[in-house]
Structure 1
């Protein structure tokens, strides 16, 4: 049996597996936002990078990803990751 196919039985394990998955998903979304900005040639400051990578709110990260993909120019990058 592959570990990914294993179904946790205890409520304790289910709770912490779910937390880990949520954190991993947030990290992936945050990295995606930064990758899209960089791929589009936008400069990202250290402060913006830290703000993006520290965000754990999936809705905020989704909003930022859409904004990163559709920003008209570099002046909008500050709006993507907040000021």
Structure 2
């Protein structure tokens, strides 16, 4: 039986497994093949390949959706961080306080929503923008 036919038979058999085992087999198969078989399998799975089975289309769609949801969540998180950082700076500037570059950089670089919330509240009462950072232990 030609190598390509054996790989197709393997993939068809793996499609009959439960989802968790399919994922494990799909991960293990390429690493257990010799170089020629791996190249053949990779050629069969080239970019732009249209999946033939409903299982594969469904599995890929689930992966794409999970990836998109993760991307949306990361985007929401980044947006919240940026918005809160801008709020800190806006409060300081609205109060007429000079915001030194090191304070601006630290505020914009923060990845801690709770810290930014504390800074928004503190920005309303500090006498100098540098005091904002002094209270955080930094």
Question: In structure 1, what is the equivalent of residue 114 of structure 2?
Answer: 59
Q: Is there any run of 5+ residues in structure 2 with no aligned partner, and where? A: 1-63
Residue in 2 aligned with 1:22? Answer: 77
TM-score by length of 2: 0.49
Q: Which of the pair has the greater relative contact order for Cα pairs under 8 Å at 6+ separation?
A: 1
Deviations 1:21-56 (A, max 9, x none): 101110010011001001001111011111111111
- C-alpha contact 1:33 1:65 (8 A) present in aligned 2: yes
- The count of aligned residue pairs is 72
C-alpha distance in 2, partners of 1:30/1:51? 9
- Structure 1 counterpart of 2:123, from 53, 57, 68: 68
- Deviating above 6 A after TM superposition, structure 1's stretches of 4 or more consecutive aligned residues are none
Alignment TM-score, normalising by the size of structure 1: 0.78
- Any unmatched runs of 5+ in structure 1? 1-8
- State yes or no: 1:44 paired with 2:96: no
